[in-house]
Structure 1
Amino acid sequence: MQLGGCWFDRERGLLIEQSQHDAWHLPRAELQVLSLLVANQGKLVSKHDLKTGTGQHPPLTDTSVARAVFMIRSFLGPQYESLIETVKGQGYLLHGGEAKTVKGLGRRLPSWPRCTVVGLFVLMVGLSTFYWRHIDHSAPTAPLLTTELPLASGQHMRLSLYSNSNTNNTLLFELAERFTQGVLACKRSDWSEAYASLSHDRQVLNITLRGERSGQSVIRNLKISDYRQPKTFIEPLWLQEVGICG
């Protein structure tokens, strides 16, 4: 199955970037989510169905599903990430405009994952260049996930997500998707790094931007409160007001 510029080999559990021949051996969550979306192409697949376990595996969590969709979109690239549509509060839909069945790959490709142009989310430890204001500076915190966001100018912005736990991070991943869409619309930006985290009560989103202006390093701290249900936090107008593109 072709998805944008990638081949999806369901039998081998591979997602292969066509132009650079990079192959990503999909983890269980990503393989389950993408397989169900492909099997129901053009139809809404509920979060419940995407989470459903099998005889060999337990059900996925909401966080696992959100993270899987985010990572699949990252591998597909910004020009094809819209193939997977988020239907708010319901689930996800794989559009069929760019997908078609393909017989055979035509060559042997490596089965180990590598970074593509847009980067894959990777687990990182030992981050020592940045300390959050709300934690003990003697104990650096490793990000939950990190990715590289490419701009039209060739510049990249690194986005790192921080969480107090590894569970129930669905909202954080959804906010990261909105932030990513805003950044990818920029031709260039003064900011080279972005760090995002939610408060314990999930009512405050903290974003720190790091970059360079006139040869000097600059930092900007943003704090957004949202007490509504459902929460929005990041909107296109807000991204313009804070000058995310610089």
Structure 2
Amino acid sequence: MQIGSCWFDRQNKQLIDQSKDISWPLNDQEYWVLEQLAAHRGQVVSIQQLKSPNMHRTNMIKIVEALIQFLGKEHASLLEYIPNQGVILYKNATSQPSRLLVSPYGPMSYRQYLFVIILVIAGCVYAYSGLSTTSYIKADYSKWIMSKQGGLTELLVYAADDEQYKLNEKIDVIAKHIKSCDAVIWQSITLALSSDKLSFSLVMKRQTDATWLYHNVKLSRAYLEQQWLSAEWLKEVQICD
């Protein structure tokens, strides 16, 4: 089966990138995920269906991310992970923007979406600045968090228009939840709040032997008191491993 510039060889359990002349021998779990997606191409495959026996949800998500990376930038949009629903393998690449992580009360408005995109760009600029000696804007709040396994992650927050004591209280709660994670794979987590505090963006980054890896999360709330932070949510957006 053709998937972008790759060929899914079911018989030999391989995904072959014909443009680069490289192949990916799939293990049993990787083959199961791709086989389910290929068999239901164009449809959302539920998370439960994608999880083979004894497969953890986190491993399933990592397999989907690895597949997206293997497909490459040109064909990455063929695969889309929809939180709390499942994963879809499109028949053709789409230029539509990926779905946003939204509240259960509805999606972001166009204005909110635009604002969050600006926040993401700002966060990426900040993250990139860490690769050079260029000076950067000091965060309004910074804190080192140690996970249960002893890993250190720096939490950086930008919300200059908030009163400092209120900001400290809010971020201490977030830091406490992150600290409860068994493991956090990210070296830094940058959080940027909108002026109305209803929307925010998270930019996570870590360095591997070969490159820097980034992960972005956007959230919109219907009202300020709406509860969103939980151990399950942290795992869903891949802050907790």
Decide: shared fold, TM above 0.5: no
Larger % of helix: which?
Answer: 2
- Output the TM-score relative to the length of structure 2: 0.43
- Output the TM-score relative to the length of structure 1: 0.42
